[in-house]
Structures are given as C-alpha cells and as structure tokens.
Amino acid sequence: MILHIALKDLKIIFKDKKALMIMLLMPAIIMLILGSALGSVFTDELKINKFSIAVVNNDDGQMSQVFINKVLRESMGDMFNTFVVEGATAEKMLSNKTVPSIIVIPQNFSKNIDSNKPVNIEVKSQIDQQFKSSIVKSVTEGFAQGLSQSSAVAFAALDIFKKHNIPVPKPPMEGMTESMAIMQELQKKLSTEMIKFNESNEERQKNLSGIQYYSATMLVMFMLFGMSQGTKVMVEERESKTLGRIMSTRVGKLNLIMGKFLGLLFICFTQSMILIVFTRVVYGVNWGNSIPGLLLITFCAVFAGAALGMMIATIAKTPGAADGIGQAFIQVFTLIGGGMIPLFVMPDFVKYMANFTLNSWATKGYNDLMMGMGIDAILPYCGILIVMGMGYLSVGIARFKVE
Amino acid sequence: MSFLEVKGISKKFGDLKAVDNISFEVEEGEVFGLLGPNGAGKSTLISMITTLLKPDSGDVIINGLNLGKHAMEIKEILGLVPQEISLYPTLTARENLVFWGRMYGLKGTQLKERVDEALEIAGLQDRAKDRIDKYSGGMKRRINIAAALMHHPKILIMDEPTVGIDPQSRNHILETVVKLNKEGMTVIYTSHYMEEVEFLCTRIAIVDHGKVIAKGTKEELRKLVGNRDTINIGVANASDKVLSTIRDTNGVESLSVEDGKIKIIARGADELLAKVISILDSQRCKIQSVNVEQSNLESVFLHLTGRALRD
Ligand SMILES: Nc1ncnc2c1ncn2[C@@H]1O[C@H](COP(=O)(O)OP(=O)(O)O)[C@@H](O)[C@H]1O
Ligand SMILES: [Mg+2]
C-alpha cells in the first residue's frame, strides 16, 4: 500500500507535464542564476534554438534591471533574446505568437525585495509552447524565489552582524538596494576569506574551492525547496478531500505518511542528481571520486529534508501556514547551516546551532567527498542525517490528524 | 442485536455541540435515512461512525464489533461515500478506482474485475479513460459512489450523495441504492432532500442541531403530525400583520414563508382554507396559487421545529 500511494503521487506529478518540466529544469536554472550571481565563469554550451521573449517592466528600481540585464540578457542570453516593451505591445506579441511567453515585473518589485516582502513575477505563455514557456517560467520563478530567499538571508545576516559588531558593508553604487549590496559584499568578502582559509593550515578545507563549497550548500538549500514540495503533496491530499477517504480504508496514517514520503524522496533525489550532474557538466564542479558516497550522502540529506517537509505538513493547519513555516525553515537552516556565509566566519553560538541543521551535516559530507575522501568518511554524517529524518518523521506521524 | 448501534454519541467543536447525545440502530439489510438541514451534524456523525473523527463520548458497535477497539475490522466491511467528491481530479476514473481498490487491499484479476464492476454500476464504462476533472458533476458523484463499493462493503454510508447534480444522475444514483439494497447491502443514506429519504428509506432519524428529534418508519413519523395537512398558498404581498393574523387562527399549527409561498400546517385543511382565503382577501392580498398536501416528512420537520427543512 505504501508503494501504491507513492506511485499514485508520482503518476499525478508525471501527468502534469508543465509542472514536471519546471521541476526538472528548476535545479539547473537555480544553479545557473546563483552561479552567475557568484560571478563564476559562464560557459555558453547550452544548445537550444534561440527564441524571443517580451518583458513588461512596471518596476522602477534596480532589481528589475538586474533581472533583465544580468539574468535574462546575460545568463540566459544564449537561449533567448529579451525585448522590453509596453504592456499592450507584449500582449499583442503573445497573441501573434511572436513570442512564446511574456514576463510581467510588478510595480514596486525592487522596493518589496528591499523591505523583505514576498515578490512574484508573472509569466504569461502560449499554450502550445510548453517547452519554451517552461524554461521562461523556471528562470523567472527561480529568480524570484532565489532572490527572496537570499535577500531574507541577507537581512538575517545583517542582524547578526550588527549584534556581534561585525562591520556592515555600504552600498557601492548609487541606487543599489541595501540587501543586494550586502549580498554582493558578502560574496566578495567570502572569496577572499575562502582563499585565506584555504591557505591556512586547516586540514579539512584545504583543497576546496569557492565554487565547490557553494555548489554543495546550494544543493542542500535546494533540497529544502524540495522539502516545501513535500508539504504541498500533503496539503493537496487534504484539499482534494481524498485524505478522508484514505483514512476510511485500511490504510493507517503511518502507511499514508510513509507512502507520500517515499514518493517525495524519489522526486527530491532525482532533482538533486540532476543538479549534481548539471554543475559537473556545465561548471566542471568536482564532486569527488566516490560515486557511491555521493549517492549515499544525497540520499541521506534528501531523506532528512523530505522528512522535515512531512513534519511541517502535518503540523501546519493551513496551506498558508505550511508555506510560512517551510520558508522560515529554509531561511534559518540556510543561514545558520552555512548556506550563504561559511560557518568559520560566524560567531560561536551560530557554529553550535549549526549542528542542529541538516544543511551543515550534508555540506560537510559533500565537502569531504569533494576533497577526495571515500564513502567511510561520510558515514557518521549520514547517520546523523538519517537520525534527524527519523525524528522529523516520528513527530509528523505523532502529530498527524485528519481534521 | 442490530447490525449497527450508535449509543449516546457526542462531539463538540469548541462551544458548538455538533452532535449531541445521538442514539439509533440500523438493522441488517435496511436503508436507514438520516434527514436534517445543513449544519444539523449529519457529516460529523458519519465521520465518527467511519472512524475519521473520535467521539467525545458514546459508543458505536458495528456487526458486533466496538468501533474504538476494532477500527481496522470495521473499516473492511464499511464503505464511505463522502459528501464531497473525494477523487484525484487529474487521474482517470479507472486509475482512481484502481488506486482505491488497492487501498482496500485488492490486487490482480480480482482488482480488475471489481474496477469493471464499479464502472458498470456507475454506468460510465465508455468514459473510464477520461480524467475526473473532465466529468460533469453527476458523473463525478457516480464515481465517488463506485469507489466506495470496490471492496463489497456490508454497509454503505452515503453522505448527501446527490447534492448539486442533474435529475438524470440523481435517478441513476437512487436506482443504484435500491439495487444494492436488494442485493443485501445495508445502507445509511444522509440527505436534506425529504423526497429522496422518503423514497428510499425504511426507517428514518430526523436530525436537527446535533440531536435526533424524531425517528421511526415513515408511517410512524407521519403519525407524529397527526391528521395534519399542509396548505401552500402563493401570495404576492403578504404583510407581517396578515401572517400573524393567520397564525393566530384556530386550527393553524405552524406557519412559514418560503419563496413567496405561505406554508401552513393545519388540522382539517378544508375548513381552515376558507378562513385563510377570506383573511387574505380582506387585506387585499393577491392569491396566485393554492394547494393542499397530505403530511410528509417535510411537514414532520416543520411540525417539530417550526422551520422548513431547506433554507
Ligand atoms: N471541523 C469542524 N470544526 C468546527 N466546526 C465544525 C467542524 N465540522 C463541522 N462543524 C460544525 O458542526 C456543525 C455540524 O456540521 P455538519 O456535521 O457538517 O452538518 P451537516 O452535515 O448536517 O450539514 C456545523 O455547525 C458546522 O459548522
Ligand atoms: Mg454534511
């Protein structure tokens, strides 16, 4: 029965071609965007027939410019030509099928980012251009999501910096948003710190490059996105009212949670593998020599992440609450787990707190593998991740209620 | 002992007593009706009988098994048709039925046979490969019922299975219930449609505000109203004053207004009708229609609560 619940969930996802495409493209796209934000060298090897898209920009701030010029024109420049036009023109282009998709950046987009409010960019697409419009949609969603995440993290970082008297960077450019400045400054600071750190005698990180470190932390952050998917599968079951019917059959809540968990595990694992292969091929990131080790640590990290998702899904009373709690977990875990700022520049209490995040253990595991260690080196981390996952699952099962 | 016994069951949501000390018995092979307006507590009661909700107090015994102790065994003999369509909208009817069959532990050729059988009962064999979200409301309802029959339950519990559908699908569903019952299935049928309950059920419990306010066979319930008739008078402009004059007239048991119609329950309609018409006439109310009905479950409810069954 567990297996059939998992298969049913997968079937539902596989039927939704658009969602599936976004899900499989999302890891690559997020990496592409974060990669360009991290200033790494860009390889233009992606081969797709170039197409055009139209952008309507209702925002008068810096962030929309970054999105248009850096992300759409630079990072995605090989995939499509970007035209900035008026709303009516864009609609006409869409209905004429001149473009497969148009992107509408809302008013106050930059302002909202700057004040840490949730942001959203709308994408309208022709129905018969699924593939192209999925790419546009994932780029846009990835940007909006990544941006809100990282600006939220930057905000939190700012807080910690102030509390511990770490100097706060000043915006280097007129009109640049504060959080953007912090993010940029952090990255700059980081690359120098990273070099310094690599040169020091610390054994662990001796041969780890910045891009390797970030590939790992971003992968883990991405697993947490997967976790929020997990809350969705539970919420959907509730909303389609099928939860009640399931509970009226012989399937107990244990079977139900395990079934959904299994389906989620499969999806998140697949997504993570895509991301690893993608960074390997596109950026040449070296994930180490141990493929079994890589599979194992990925499995364990995904296990813990998916379990966390199931726990949140059973605790949250409404879809909104599930989303809110999920976001909070992503931000806190990414921040204190060393996702944006490596732990060694963090105050001691953060280092201590990091032990409670799955990010920190998973990142350690990936880093060890990247430095050429074998599967035995990561076994302790795997153990911790599995124990964490079991803990989350037990809480989820204990807290689960039908009503 | 009865096939199903509900003994003093209660459920509170905060301060609201959704189900308040309800008891009734259902005999093997009968169609038992739960009739009551929206919000009466019917769905809450059914959630408790089907183990989805834990009662605050009281007991349910099905087929000699106590619900609290033998939930698993009870689930195997019980089929639930939830009030809301509980199917996966993007899966086809067949895929849905296969999934629900598996959840009941069916597999192999038996599963396939049961799916075909369920599709036949729903009368939707030729639409089996269509997604549920492409179905009409009535077709969804039919699959919603078929899914509850996959494991051949001994007792089928239906929560308002005909809400919001076309007359054709409604007839199909009512006929299905009759047919299943003829084949020996015990049914609990919940509805706020008096006609359906009156048509299908051998015995009925009328529920209001979480309580059973009357129960028995149709005949027993009709006796409660006594030899009372229902007079429906369509008037264009009845003032409150006119209504209260009529209410005070000798022989009027209760009076309500529904869709511009005055509904009067009375002893001896013939005599009263003349009086009422003369009152309306003297107040220059325009009478559009008059009709007199023998007592039915609607009038029983009106008699007991002073309100109409449908709001
Ligand atoms: N989960 C719940 N939480 C709070 N109140 C509820 C809940 N479920 C039902 N109720 C309330 O209990 C009463 C009975 O509802 P319900 O059993 O759905 O009635 P019916 O099925 O007869 O229309 C209603 O007033 C409803 O608002
Ligand atoms: Mg109901």
Which pLDDT score, from 0 to 100, does residue B63 have? Answer: 93
Which atom number of ligand 1 is nearest to the Cα of residue B36?
A: 22
Which pLDDT score, from 0 to 100, does residue A271 have? Answer: 86
Domain ranges of chain A: 2-42+209-399, 51-206
Assess whether the C-beta atom of B84 lies below 6 angstroms from ligand 1: no
Which pLDDT score, from 0 to 100, does residue A149 have? Answer: 60
Higher-pLDDT residue of A245 and B236 is A245
Determine contact: B133 vs chain A, CB below 8 A.
Answer: no
Q: How distant is the Cα of B293 from the closest Cα of chain A, in angstroms?
A: 40
Determine contact: A401 vs chain B, CB below 8 A.
Answer: no
Which pLDDT score, from 0 to 100, does residue B290 have? Answer: 86
Assess whether the C-beta atom of B172 lies below 6 angstroms from ligand 1: no
Higher-pLDDT residue of B67 and A180 is B67
Nearest CA to ligand 1 atom 4: B13
CATH of region A51-206, choose from 3.40.1710, 2.20.25, 2.60.40, 1.20.1250: 3.40.1710
Question: How many other CB atoms sit within 10 Å of the CB of residue B268?
Answer: 11
Contact A46, A241 (CB under 8 A): no
Q: Mean pLDDT of all residues in chain B?
A: 90
Which pLDDT score, from 0 to 100, does residue B134 have? Answer: 93
Residue B250 above 60 pLDDT?
yes
Which pLDDT score, from 0 to 100, does residue A196 have? Answer: 42
Picking from B209, B77, B217, the residue whose alpha carbon sits closest to that of residue B151 is B77
Q: Do A244 and B102 touch (CB under 8 A)?
A: no
Among the partner residues B51, B88, B90, nearest to A248 by beta-carbon distance: B51
Q: State how beta strands A51-57 and A80-84 pair.
A: parallel
pTM of the model: 0.73
Give the tokens for residue A6: 């998992």
Picking from B246, B299, B250, B241, the residue whose alpha carbon sits closest to that of residue B271 is B250
Give the pLDDT confidence of A356-386 residue by residue, as tens digits: 888 889 988 998 898 888 899 899 999 999 9
Assess whether the C-beta atom of B262 lies below 6 angstroms from ligand 1: no
Which pLDDT score, from 0 to 100, does residue A165 have? Answer: 61
**For chain A, give me the number of helices (H) and strands (E)?**
15, 4
Which atom number of ligand 1 is nearest to the Cα of residue B14?
A: 4
Ranked by mean pLDDT, which of A313-317, A351-355, B84-88, B163-167 comes out on top? B84-88
Give contacts of B 144-173 with A, CB under 8 A: 147
Picking from B151, B143, B148, B144, the residue whose alpha carbon sits closest to that of residue B105 is B151
Which pLDDT score, from 0 to 100, does residue A113 have? Answer: 75
CA distances from A249 to A139, A278, B103, B145 (A): 42, 43, 6, 14
Nearest CA to ligand 1 atom 1: A403
One DSSP character per residue, B138-159 reads: HHHHHHHHHGGGTT--SEEEEE
* Chain A hits for B53, Cβ within 8 Å: 402-403
Q: How confident is the model at residue B117 (pLDDT cuts 50, 70, 90)?
A: very high
Residue B93 above 90 pLDDT?
yes
For residues B222 and A357, what is the distance between their CA atoms, to the nearest angstrom? 68
Give the tokens for residue B80: 């639930």
Identify the segments of chain A with pLDDT beneath 70: 22, 26-49, 75, 78, 130-131, 142, 145-210, 339-347, 402-403
Higher-pLDDT residue of B249 and B80 is B80
Strand partners, B90: none
Among the partner residues B85, B88, B103, nearest to A12 by beta-carbon distance: B88
Which atom number of ligand 1 is nearest to the Cα of residue B41?
A: 17
Residue B34 above 90 pLDDT?
yes
Residue type, B220: E
Give phi and psi for B305, each to the nearest 5.
-115, -15
Residue in A closest to B151 by C-alpha = A249
Determine contact: B73 vs chain A, CB below 8 A.
Answer: no
Give the tokens for residue A18: 């658009």
Give contacts of B 83-102 with A, CB under 8 A: 84-91, 95, 99-100, 102
Picking from A351, A353, A354, A259, the residue whose alpha carbon sits closest to that of residue A306 is A259
Question: Residues lining ligand 2 (ion), CB within 5 A?
Answer: B 42-43, 83
Residue in A closest to B91 by C-alpha = A12
Picking from A167, A145, A164, the residue whose alpha carbon sits closest to that of residue A22 is A145
Ligand 1 centroid from CA B39, angstroms:
6
Q: Do B88 and A8 touch (CB under 8 A)?
A: yes
Assess whether the C-beta atom of B16 lies below 6 angstroms from ligand 1: yes
Residue in B closest to A246 by C-alpha = B103
* Chain A hits for B90, Cβ within 8 Å: 12, 15-16
Residue B280 above 80 pLDDT?
yes
Q: State how beta strands A51-57 and A101-105 pair.
A: parallel
Helix (H, G, I), strand (E, B) or coil at B66: strand
Contact B10, B117 (CB under 8 A): no
Ligand nearest to the CA of B11: 1
For residues A222 and A220, what is the distance between their CA atoms, to the nearest angstrom? 5
Question: How many other CB atoms sit within 10 Å of the CB of residue B213?
Answer: 16
